Chains A and B, each alone.
Chain A
């Protein structure tokens, strides 16, 4: 029996607006990657992709600003006045900013091509990877395991490819299958690693299971179903992984905030 006088910091520090951010940043980072590849391969639709990337990044930054408790103090400038490369959010902020600037120049078609390629590669990778990194660095939170370093970029790419498929980009369906399956496999690996891990990981696994675990399974089933759908129902094949990927990401962010079992 444990009782408190005064409560420590509440278990949940990130709320639903943060989940929206995690969904948007997946799209933004993924789109930046697509733009980077398109720019390097001189894909004919690169300017469209760049524009979409810009819109997504701006949307995401706007969400972040809206949900920030410091929104009217404008302290965010400090991110750009500081050098804190150990901070995933700093890396992500720079990744998104670089991607935004590079995309803008790609869109208007100005500036040195090589520079924008390099910027897009670096920026987009940072933007894609940092959400998983921002979770995985917290070794104190047992549900945020290193597997997320792979799972989050995969699901991020998956959502953006799914959107591309919705808009009938010819290259998309192929990647849809691959990324869906890869995400599903990593999802299973994630669960397996928890279930077979040390005591704390197993307790966390049980916690995950009792706090929305079945939804996790639903998400995995959705992802695994994508290859079967790609031919027969292309629209569903695009919508289903968006739901699946977003569900997995949201569950992990939301439930994973818990820490110190039996402590």
Chain B
């Protein structure tokens, strides 16, 4: 059993969207549907500026609000902590989309919900998720949090600062943002002053 997690070092990320394109191609997302997207935010006034490039996707919450609202049991959490879904059971009711505080789920035009699954097919082969493998700034790490020697554990340990999105909701995200560029952490997150 593992506890899979991802970390993105915002000091290195340039918001280039290679991860997002790789994700869409790998997972055959139709144009217009995204499991992974980039939010680029500017704060400050000329010339004192901060730009945060923040890729976002499903955070594989420890307490995922999206799972208990699913009426067919299509949404579930694997033993390794991947919040996954069995599209064969999906009725497209959008309850999980409504429950996700991070807009991470979207409706596939084929009529079922889709979202990041940590590229479980690659992980099963011992490969990194498509976004992690391709990222040209090497700012993404993926691995097992239970293993203190995993890349992701090390990256989180060594970071100057670690943030998650909307910690106040108690969802327990497993997508960590390292070294946020703004002094107060993630832009527009809780306690932000944007």
Q: List residues of chain A with CB under 8 Å of any chain B CB.
A: 1-11, 13-14, 68-73, 75-76, 78-79, 81-84, 86-90, 93, 134-135, 137-141, 257, 259-260, 262-263
Contact = CB atoms under 8 A, between A and B. Distances in A.
A69 B91 CA distance: 7
A253 B104 CA distance: 20
Contact of A78 (B36, B74, B102, B107): B74
Given A8-B56, A76-B91, A139-B65, A1 B72 contact: no
B97 interface: yes
A68 B92 contact: yes
A9 B103 contact: yes
Given A6-B37, A70-B111, A137 B99 contact: yes
Interface string B71-108: 11110000000000000111111110111111111110
Nearest to B114: A9
A82 B166 CA distance: 31
Contact of B166 (A14, A141, A260): A260
B65 A5 contact: no
Secondary structure class of chain B's binding surface, majority of residues: loop
Nearest to A91: B71
B40 A2 contact: yes
A141 B94 CA distance: 14
Contacts of B148: none
B91 A68 contact: yes
Interface string B14-27: 01010010001000
9 contacts: A5-B17, A8-B34, A9-B97, A68-B93, A68-B111, A69-B111, A70-B111, A76-B72, A87-B68
The residue in A3, A11, A69, A93 that gathers the most chain B C-beta atoms within 10 A of its C-beta is A69
> Which of B15, B40, B92 has the most CB atoms of chain A within a 10 A radius of its CB?
B92
A13 B94 contact: yes
A4 B65 contact: no
Contact of A84 (B40, B56, B72, B169): B72
A84 B42 CA distance: 43
